[in-house]
Amino acid sequence: MITKYKVLERRKGFTIVEVEPVTGRTNQIRLHFKELGHPLVGESVYAFRKDFELRFKRTALHAKAIEFKHPITGERMNFSLPIADDMVNFLERK
């Protein structure tokens, strides 16, 4: 598995990163960040402990954009989505 990432912003207790899963395996991002010793905020499966100070009701992971080739037409497909309100609120509080 190959995952590219870039630190966008460091905050108290967590870091905001931009991630590109090159190989695209199931749970790849979650697993790689656990292996780095930095599990995702809200992570419950791929975390080495369950008593994190930061609380979020789900895994703090957002697919900002996805791009792929349509399997039948071969057309390049691009989709993007803004960050969900619960995550925006979390980031504004921290």
Please name the helix (run of DSSP H) or strand (run of DSSP E) that holds residue 26, with its range, or none: none
CATH number at residue 85: 3.30.2350.10
Number of domains in the chain: 1
Q: Which two tokens stand for residue 44?
A: 């419950």
Predicted pLDDT at 55: 78
Q: Which helix (H) or strand (E) holds 15?
A: strand 14-21
- Cα 41 from Cα 56, distance rounded (Å): 7
Q: Quote the CA–CA distance of 67 and 76 in Å, as a whole number.
A: 7
Beta-carbon contacts of 28 under 8 Å, excluding residues fewer than 6 positions away, are: 1, 3, 21
Give mean pLDDT, residues 65-89: 95
**pTM for the predicted model, two decimal places:** 0.78
Q: Which residue has the tokens 């992971």?
A: 61
Q: What is the domain extent for residue 29?
A: 3-93
pLDDT tens per residue across span 15-66 = 999 999 998 888 999 999 999 989 999 888 888 766 667 778 899 999 999 9
